DNA sequence: TTCAAAAACTGATAAAACTCATATTTTCCG
DNA sequence: CGGAAAATATGAGTTTTATCAGTTTTTGAA
């Protein structure tokens, strides 16, 4: 039997999530309206083109947010981890999802219906202020990605992507950092072909920066990756 | 003598700007604290790395928001026109500007100090809601740019850039659309080298899609550009 | 444990875009 | 108006990255 999500009032993320500034009675109501779900690796949490019906809070696992090109090529826009909020942009902008969210691991997510989310945002200024800052930060991050995609060659972007994975998913005290990720997904983060990613990974291996065992990548020397990623900054 | 900005209460954009939902007394206060400025072509409105002290409302002219790479290559993140708001992301996120705003034409801008802006956002929920939507839209737009940069070849991105210029800057009834823009700036929108832009522009000219006179580009056949830009959508 | 499918890897070649060099045109300042 | 500086335009050659084809390794289920 899988562990169910705890009550919102005792959630691991109650002091760090978007709802960290909620009152107890708000958390109580949130808890009543939320809906807990599990997703296996590869399962779709929400799909490009659909109408958003609420937002998602990741409780455990890893999620990619990505868009599919007509040629079947995928571009990953964001990586989400436990504690992160998903799908809020479309809801606020009142548009269909422009990207899909897909579990990269066994992932647990709470769904919060639009009505409840909107109520909370309307009634609690602190929540709406935090939401605004979250949007501003996301915009800044996306602009950074845009700039790097435009200005940096693949080798540097790959180094950066590995550092992003590390900074996003490294658990406290787990050193060195390891992650299991397909070369396909990695290439969709970097914005290049998977063969190109593989070639540069081989180079990084030769330089002792990483090691791999199957799809598992271990980062031995993050400092070198920092150097590579900011070669021309 | 240059025309000064009118009072905020009679501003051309009082019903379409970020402040469209303000009360009269709020517009009055806004008017008191605002500061009107003119910029010649090429002049910097705010500069990458500086701390934001307020936000900017474009009253007339054209503005590019761009970041400079260490190799001197520029990437344009956004094009702003009259009625647009500039510099709000950094202010909300409480970070230094990550890009610069530069006048592309003779441009007039109102500066609104951070204190006044924050007060308005805090006191008027409608303003903060609109601001939130503006951020959400900007995030969506930037994600689109990212996807296109990753997935579309230069020819398609150039077609898209020309359509962006048209949809942003075409004045009511002025047909066909013409704009004076350096190949350098155009390449900084597309994210490519200026020679590459020039080559594809020549191709578009041969196909009768555009004509040029010096740096002036006239779009004769926007439909063909739409087709080219979405070749693989 | 075995075996088949999937994924990682490697090599060869092709395509896209960049750089550099240079010619031509436009701009604009005196 | 003339001429220098700047910008546009074009060509050749190189670099980067993508594509395709094939081999090896890993993975996961029977």
Q: Estimate in Å the CA A59 to C1' D5 gap, whole number.
A: 62
The yes-or-no verdict on residue A2 having pLDDT over 60 is: no
Whether the per-residue pLDDT at A1 is higher than 50: the answer is no
From the CA of B36, how many Å to the nearest CA of chain A? 26
Q: Give per-residue pLDDT as tens, A101-124.
A: 999 999 999 999 999 999 999 999
Summarize pLDDT for B103-138 with one digit per residue, the tens.
999 999 999 999 999 999 999 999 999 999 999 999
Q: The tokens of A158 are what?
A: 């790959």
Task: Give me the pLDDT at residue B1, please.
Answer: 43
Predicted complex ipTM exceeds 0.85: yes
Calculate the average pLDDT of chain A.
Answer: 95
Does the beta-carbon distance from A69 to B232 stay under 8 Å? yes
- pTM, two decimal places: 0.95
Question: Which protein residue has its CA closest to C1' of C15?
Answer: B153
Q: Is the alpha carbon torsion for B15, B20, B21, B23 positive or negative?
A: negative
Average pLDDT, chain B: 95
* Helix A24-33 with A114-123: angle, nearest 10 deg: 170
Measured between beta carbons, the chain B residues lying within 8 angstroms of A133 are 92-93
Give residue numbers, 173 to 202 of B, with CB < 7 Å from strand C: 191-193, 195-196
Percent helix, strand and coil across chain A, each rounded to 5? 45, 25, 35
Q: Enumerate domains of chain B plus CATH numbers.
A: 8-149 (2.60.120.10), 153-229 (1.10.10.10)
Q: pLDDT tens digits for A208-225?
A: 999 999 999 999 999 999
Q: Which pLDDT does position A3 carry in this prediction?
A: 57
How far CA A21 is from CA of A14, A109, B149, B178, B217, in Å, comes to 9, 20, 38, 51, 52
Phi and psi at A105, nearest 5°, equal -145, 180
The C-alpha of A170 sits at a distance from chain B's nearest C-alpha, in angstroms, of 25
Contact B89 A139 (CB under 8 A): yes
Q: Tell me the H-state helices in chain B.
A: 24-33, 88-93, 114-123, 125-151, 154-169, 183-190, 194-206, 222-229
């Amino acid at each position: 039997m899988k562990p169910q999500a705890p009550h919102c009032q005792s959630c691991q993320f109650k002091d760090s999530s978007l709802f960290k500034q909620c009152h107890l009675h708000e958390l109580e109501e949130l808890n009543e309206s939320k809906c807990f779900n599990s997703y296996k690796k590869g399962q779709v949490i929400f799909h490009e083109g659909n109408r958003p019906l609420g937002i998602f809070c990741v409780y455990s696992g890893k999620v990619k947010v990505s868009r599919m090109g007509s040629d079947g090529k995928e571009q990953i826009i964001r990586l989400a981890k436990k504690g992160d909020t998903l799908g809020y942009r479309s809801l606020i902008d009142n548009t269909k999802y422009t990207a899909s969210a897909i579990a990269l691991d066994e992932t647990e997510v709470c769904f919060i219906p639009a009505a409840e989310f909107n109520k909370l945002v309307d009634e609690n200024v602190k929540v709406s202020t935090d939401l605004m800052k979250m949007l501003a930060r996301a915009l800044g991050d996306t602009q950074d990605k845009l700039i790097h995609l435009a200005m940096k060659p693949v080798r540097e972007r790959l180094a950066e992507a590995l550092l992003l994975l590390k900074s996003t998913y490294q658990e406290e005290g787990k050193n060195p950092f390891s992650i299991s990720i397909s070369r396909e997904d990695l290439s969709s983060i970097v914005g290049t072909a998977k063969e190109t990613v593989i070639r540069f990974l081989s180079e990084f291996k030769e330089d002792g920066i990483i090691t791999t065992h199957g799809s598992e990548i271990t980062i031995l020397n993050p400092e070198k990756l920092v150097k590579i990623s900011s070669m021309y900054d």
